[in-house]
Structure formats: structure tokens, C-alpha cells
Amino acid sequence: MYILFEGIDTCGKSTQIERLAKAHPGIITTHEPGGTAFGEQARAILLSDSLRSKRAELLLFLADRAEHYETVIEPNQNKLVVSDRGFISGIGYALANGDFDFDELVRLNHFALKGHFPDRIILFLTDMETLRERTSQKSLDGIELRGLEYLLRVQEHMKETVLRLGIPHLFIDAADTVENIHQSILTYLKV
């Protein structure tokens, strides 16, 4: 089973993936962008926010996604694979960045993933107060420096994408306690 943990930065995805992996050591965990040798190089470029072209940024995310699927997801399709981000983030950021067509973004991601969308999505949703508090406690990367309103727009696009595609999902209130969120995820995944 292929599961995406989605959400904007500081929403708690990574914390919950770590807890899930500790509770179930057989789970394969990965992340996008990154998760492969090429992905780490792409991640460095993307987080530096050095690309002027939003199309180039989108294509680099898609190249990373295709490589990630080919080298991590597909070879482990008979195992439980949990990815910290994936194509929902890709579509959310692309829509927040400019005049991209939703259906075209879905087609491009479908191509990058060899026609295999995740089996389930867990989307962490945050609010301005929680986001402001959590981002104030870290140094921001190039994408986070685009602003909190930008990040919340990305989040709204992620939510709309999940709903439009109809992939089985769980929405998580990122302001809830770490333990409550963990229990909700365990219940939802039945692991």
C-alpha cells in the first residue's frame, strides 16, 4: 500500500511518520522532493527557490516524482510505503504559483507515477495561528519565505485536489495533540 502524508511545512507530517515507523518497523518511509540520489539534488535546487520559471520548478518536481516512483515506490508495491509528501503537494504548489490547469497537472502527475496514484492520503491541515507559531521557531527555506498566506493557499489547493480526485483520505487537524493525531492515523490505517 502506498500512502501519502501531505501538508504544508510545520504541520507535523514528519513527526507522525517517525512515530508510525517506530510503532511498525517494517514500514518503508521516504519523502519528496528527495528520497533518491537525484531527488536530493532536485530538493537542493527547489528549496533554494532559485528557478525563475514556475514551469521549470514544476518539471523538476515531476522529474523527482518519476524517479522516486521508479526507484522507491514501484519496487516496494507489496509493502507499506509512506511518503512525506507527493503529488498532492506538487499540484497544490503549482496551482498557488500561477495559471496552471488542474486537469493538465493531474495528467502530468499520472504520467510521472506510471498511472498509479496513492492508495490513501493523510492531509494535515493547519491554521494561521499555528503556522505562525511553528514557523517562528525555525529558519525558513526559499519556499517558506514566500509567506504564510502563500502556504495557506497551497494548503487549500491540496485539500481541493484530494476532494476532486476522490482518493481515500483522512484530514488531520494539525493543531491537535501529537498523541491524538497518532491514534487517529493508526485507526485509519488499521496497522
| CATH number, domain with residue 87 | 3.40.50.300
Distances (CA, A) of 147 to 10, 141, 143, 153, 168: 13, 11, 8, 10, 30
Q: What is the mean pLDDT of residues 177-186?
A: 96
State the amino acid at position 120 in one-letter form.
R
Domain extent at residue 85: 2-189
Average the pLDDT over each of 52-61, 72-81, 156-165 and give the range with the smallest value. 52-61
Q: Which of 123, 57, 55 is nearest to 88 (CA)?
A: 123
Nearest-angstrom CA–CA distance, 20 and 74: 21
What pLDDT, on a 0 to 100 scale, did the predictor assign at position 13?
Answer: 93
Mean pLDDT along residues 115-140: 84
Give the whole-number percent of the chain exceeding pLDDT 90: 65
| CA-wise closest residue to 191 among 25, 4, 14, 68 | 25
**Closest Cα partner for 89 from 72, 73, 65?**
65
Residue 10 in this model has a pLDDT that exceeds 70: yes
- Give the model's pLDDT for residue 89: 93
Q: Tell me: the pLDDT tens digits for 75-112? A: 999 999 999 999 999 999 899 987 799 999 999 999 99
> Into how many domains does the chain fold?
1
Between 74 and 138, the more confident residue is 74
Region 3-30: what's the mean pLDDT? 93
pTM reported for the whole predicted model: 0.88
